[in-house]
Amino acid sequence: MRMIRSGLLMLLLGLLPAHAQTAAPVSGGPVDPAKLQDLVLANRVLTDLNVIDGFGHVSMRHPTDPNRYLMGRSVAPALVVADDIMEYDLDSNPVDARGRNSFLERFIHGEIYKARPDVMAIVHTHSPGVIPFSVSSVPLRPVFHLGAFLSPSVPVFEIRNPAGQSNMLVSNPALGQSLASVLGDRNVALMRGHGSVVVAATIPMAVFRAHYSNVNAQLQMQAMSLGGPVTFMDPEESQKTLGVIDQIHGRAWDLWKRAALEKMPK
Amino acid sequence: MRMIRSGLLMLLLGLLPAHAQTAAPVSGGPVDPAKLQDLVLANRVLTDLNVIDGFGHVSMRHPTDPNRYLMGRSVAPALVVADDIMEYDLDSNPVDARGRNSFLERFIHGEIYKARPDVMAIVHTHSPGVIPFSVSSVPLRPVFHLGAFLSPSVPVFEIRNPAGQSNMLVSNPALGQSLASVLGDRNVALMRGHGSVVVAATIPMAVFRAHYSNVNAQLQMQAMSLGGPVTFMDPEESQKTLGVIDQIHGRAWDLWKRAALEKMPK
Amino acid sequence: MRMIRSGLLMLLLGLLPAHAQTAAPVSGGPVDPAKLQDLVLANRVLTDLNVIDGFGHVSMRHPTDPNRYLMGRSVAPALVVADDIMEYDLDSNPVDARGRNSFLERFIHGEIYKARPDVMAIVHTHSPGVIPFSVSSVPLRPVFHLGAFLSPSVPVFEIRNPAGQSNMLVSNPALGQSLASVLGDRNVALMRGHGSVVVAATIPMAVFRAHYSNVNAQLQMQAMSLGGPVTFMDPEESQKTLGVIDQIHGRAWDLWKRAALEKMPK
Amino acid sequence: MRMIRSGLLMLLLGLLPAHAQTAAPVSGGPVDPAKLQDLVLANRVLTDLNVIDGFGHVSMRHPTDPNRYLMGRSVAPALVVADDIMEYDLDSNPVDARGRNSFLERFIHGEIYKARPDVMAIVHTHSPGVIPFSVSSVPLRPVFHLGAFLSPSVPVFEIRNPAGQSNMLVSNPALGQSLASVLGDRNVALMRGHGSVVVAATIPMAVFRAHYSNVNAQLQMQAMSLGGPVTFMDPEESQKTLGVIDQIHGRAWDLWKRAALEKMPK
């Protein structure tokens, strides 16, 4: 129904003079405050976990309109409050900016939501564990059970392929599409000399995967530094372990969320 | 006497119709609140020491019934309070779940308590120092005196041996028995691509060993990274040092316990 | 106009007897308290980021007199308050010491301000990431986009060249000039067996560069430890990325500043 | 004069029946509370700096009696208060134990105070940076100016030499003398598979050296991991830099002390 309404809107826009076509997209409708709160908390949890710092972002697909997504304005994630959450269409146009600035790299989110209907939450990080793998010929691989979602492989997005010598940012739809295409149907892609993008069907799972990508990377570096051969998770083991992670990841989210809530200004 | 009562119970159960045999086991009796408090605090201390995070667990054998053990419900250890402590028989059946969920991997605990009458406390960790050794051909070895309990050796439990391609969890009695058999009479076993299990005769000693396993692992990695030959603790030195650790480990426990108590909600 | 006044002063001083020429330089005038506050906060932010500890310093050029600069007295940066900020001429003579002690290495600042009219803020660090590169034949290079300011190169100041066997301190004008000459028109220079000096056109950018020099160094060490070839930022990519950093670095500064403010005694 | 009094006491004791010779030594007299407070704070500062944890200790020579020294009772250093400070003679007999337990390794302190009249404060650590060097053939060397006190060399005490297969503790006078002899006239000695001992003429300098030994060790490990040749401090540079450290180390002590004071219970 939203898609029909959206189609009608596009039709109507087609009848308007060109300058009016730049009108902001309509909203996907109000969002359950508890869900907005989870998005706010995800920003803070990821900061507490050192997965993001002054940079990096997390978004969620609009709960009732698959053609919209929600993400904080351009501010350090640790400072995000509910009023900072902006709504975008999948071309990453803001619905109602109200003077709030958007992230230059919001196209990471919009284009992945377009390409991956299963994805409901996305994290973009510069997390310290994964960056070394983004610039190395050594691939990031699942080394322990909580990193099983890194199977079957973690591709590296080389922005030189679509953009040549660039400013390194995924700052337009074409680059977002290119990144989404490298990601394919996987859960995590590294971005060379930049960071990672992590996707999931829920916010808690996206946060879980962003954190344990970083942990797994550090464990893999240390295991390799010992000098002997390393036993990685087998693809079949990883596949079976995904069910376990589905079942248990809420335990970590509950812990992280509570800690973040306690630190929020009342 | 408890064993006799337990034997009587089994006899009586044998006379009952089959469906009644699934009745919950009887309790080993009330537990001294100070001992329960130590178990609660061990959960928090291990979190403060970064030995466990949202996952991992610690248990103690029932103080007055060797056929029962006590462990928190399935919640992040940092959140455990006294009311979360559940009682299990050694087959890891809960005595009185009262709607509380059990850890999928409680069989680690039950089967080790069965196999090792000397063990009164068990910690299961995903601690970051030990995981690299769990996937490497390089063995974890005692590199300083506070790691003496790692002597004579730290075996690695490869779950592929008993389970083939699995979901990596020790989630049934057979896998717990297999792990207990790999552990043998040692203090620590690593679990490939997963973490470790640490046993001791008291909670403070189990916490000490879990923490210094992690510390020793990190020191060993760094010593090896220097490139020269490394002098490990000699087995005889380790044996003699165990007495020292017996004598001094309470000093660390007192410190950790006090810090955890100060942070507990009143 | 300040330069004319300063020139007049020098002329007048030339007419005075020699001993009077050692009189303290005149002040460049009052400084906007908000700008002073940013300098105070930079001291605390850099401590919070582990870029500096009990040692290290940060200065700013006088906002209205290019021939003066401002820096805390010789005290641990985390303790600096507004009243600790001292004013210096570019020969690093204090304007009005009022009994406050000066850093032995203030000549780092004065001589760079002389040589680099574009530089408005300077940080001197002993940050742990950069020191290993200061003593290694391996150069520090930009490994991710937030380290782009390390392009085209990070020179290493070897104090043995100007000073032979010394006490390692840049403790006079000649050594300051030598360091400034090694720095040239770049943003960062390492000091062998000592630390780094970081320059920028604003305090927030100097803090940003000091922090991400340290982060980039740690990422580069880890990437190299993986053993495979490492892809560094291309000089052209780095050049283009500088514009991005200009645009976004305030987001990190806002976060750091707020955290430092919250911790300051009222 | 104290030495004369002490000599007289020994003479008198010689006249007494044997069992009386085990009487506790007499006190060196009251100690300035500000000096005691510095010793208490050194315990807490070293904990805050992660140089010591539940173990490790710091002592000072009695300010007015060179044949006595002062050290906390056997408790985690972070918990030490003034009433925990015990007085010992240089044979490490307590003056007035009042039921307080002594560290098993107090002989480290007593025997070094005997052998080194210049030493007024001693720290014994298990600090994580130095232990890898204690078990490696690679020597710890000064890699940056704040580690200059590691020159001319850092010996490693191998307890197997005096004790064979032992419990690793310096738990009697003979082992303390052996350690003191390995230390010689240097500032730091490592203890194989155990930790380090650090000496100085004041408490602030002992704390400074204990901390920067640990920092230097970590920097050296990282510099070596880069793979290229490493430039260490030259002995002559180190010698000249000692004067700088004398001049500036109080700046760090002031910072650390203030932070520790703020956290002490009132």
**pTM attached to this predicted model:** 0.92
Which chains lie within 8 Å of chain A at 3 or more CB pairs, if any?
B, C
Chain C touched by D232 (CB under 8 Å) = yes
* D76 contact C CB<8A: no
pLDDT score, position A65: 98
A264 — pLDDT class (breaks 50, 70, 90): confident
Q: What is the pLDDT of residue B107?
A: 98
Structure confidence at residue D11 (pLDDT): 43
Q: What burial class does residue C214 get, using C-beta atoms within 10 Å of its C-beta: 0-12 exposed, 13-18 middle, 19+ buried?
A: buried
pLDDT in tens, D71-120: 999 999 999 999 999 999 999 999 999 999 999 999 999 999 999 999 99
pLDDT tier for residue D23 given thresholds of 50, 70 and 90: confident
Burial of C215 (0-12, 13-18, 19+ CB in 10 A): buried
B13 pLDDT higher than 70: no
**Does any CB of chain D come closer than 8 Å to the CB of residue C167?**
yes
Looking at every residue in chain B, the average pLDDT score rounds to 93
Closest CA to B127 of B224, B50, B237, B204: B50
Residues in chain B with CB shorter than 8 Å from the CB of A145 are 167-169, 193-194
Residue A233 pLDDT more than 50?
yes
């208490």: which residue's tokens? D40
CA distance C15 to B156: 85
Predicted pLDDT at B22? 64
Query: Is the separation of the CB atoms in D195 and D131 below 8 Å?
Result: yes
Instruction: Give me the residue label for tokens 């390692």.
Output: C168
Which of C135, C166, C221 has the CB atom closest to D237's CB atom?
Answer: C166
Check pLDDT > 70 for residue B12: no
pLDDT of residue D2 exceeding 50, the answer is no
Say how far apart CA A183 and CA A177 lie, in whole Å. Answer: 10
**ipTM of the complex, rounded to two decimals:** 0.91
Would you say residue A20 has pLDDT above 60? Answer: no
Q: Phi, psi (5° rounding) for residue D19?
A: -65, -30
- How close does chain A come to C16, measured CA to CA in Å? 54
A223, A248, A255 ranked by CB distance to B136: nearest: A223
Round the average pLDDT of chain D to a whole number and report it: 93
Q: Is B7 left (phi over 0), alpha (psi -120 to 50) or beta?
A: alpha
Residue C17, pLDDT score:
44
**What pLDDT sits at residue A265?**
79
pLDDT (mean) for D140-151: 98
Task: Give the separation between CA B252 and CA B207, rounded to whole angstroms.
Answer: 10
Profile chain C (266 residues) by mean pLDDT over runs of 10 residues. 45 43 86 97 98 97 98 96 97 97 97 98 98 98 98 98 98 98 98 98 98 98 97 98 96 96 86
Q: Do B128 and A215 touch (CB under 8 A)?
A: yes
User: Quick one: how far is CA D139 from the chain centroid?
Assistant: 20
pLDDT at residue A22, as a whole number:
64
What is the mean pLDDT of the segment spanning A37-64?
97
Active-site position among D87, D105, D236, D237: D105
Beta strands, E only, D28-84: 57-61, 68-72
Cis check: omega of the bond before C152, within 30 degrees of 0:
yes
Q: Which residue among D230, D237, D243 places its CB closest to the CB of C165?
A: D237
Residue-level length of chain B = 266
Q: Which of B53, B132, B160 sits opposite A226 (nearest CB)?
A: B132
pLDDT in tens, D177-219: 999 999 999 999 999 999 999 999 999 999 999 999 999 999 9
Strand partners, A68: A89
Residue A208 above 60 pLDDT? yes
A263 inside 8 A of chain B by CB: no
pLDDT value at position C22? 64
CB atoms inside a 10 Å sphere around CB B239: 15
Is D262 an active-site residue? no
The string of pLDDT tens digits covering residues A168-204 is: 999 999 999 999 999 999 999 999 999 999 999 999 9
- Give contacts of C141 with chain A, Cβ < 8 Å: none
Q: Which of D86, D146, D121 is nearest to D198 (CA)?
A: D121
pLDDT of residue A9: 46
Distance CA D6, CA C6 (A): 69
Rounded CA gap, A126 and A213, in Å? 12
Residue of chain C nearest A75, judged by CA positions = C251
